[in-house]
Structure 1
């Protein structure tokens, strides 16, 4: 029997599904309670006033309001007012 596979087969035909990370609502946007602002891997952006952090590091709103960003000690904090 032949030791090599035929020339037409491919070994690297796999690809992972996209994770749809990133901002779902942008700064200055009006949002409702429960709306997802950002999906991320790890804590890159931190949740601030009137926002909460999900177990998969998703930041979402707790109130009606507008989205703002603030930098404090090299941390990027997202909050809603």
Structure 2
């Protein structure tokens, strides 16, 4: 048995905190104003109707309704369909 630690073992042991990215509300799900729909790095999804993009590229609802995923000019877009529309 070794009496001392291996040479690099004390230089290990770091890890980064989880980012919790991804889709939070799926197509057809009900959302209220301010609900986060997608947390992302970069514009994987683009905002559509009744949806805005935050400083960190988070897509969130600005109206109450149902989430709708669709393609618009080749871009994956997210909209919120209100009951009136």
TM-score (norm 1): 0.86
What is the Cα-based RMSD across aligned positions, in Å?
1.6
Secondary structure of the structure 1 residue equivalent to 2:34: coil
Alignment of structure 1 residues 63-74 onto 2, 5 Å: 63-74=63-74
Alignment of structure 1 residues 1-80 onto 2, 5 Å: 6-7=5-6, 10=9, 11-80=11-80
Tell me how far 1:25 sits from its aligned partner. Answer: 1.1
Unaligned runs of 5+ in 2: none
Aligned pairs, how many?
A: 77
Unaligned runs of 5+ in 1: none
Q: Deviations over 1:24-72 (max 9, x none)?
A: 1111100100000000001110000000000000000011100001112
Tell me how far 1:9 sits from its aligned partner. Answer: 5.8
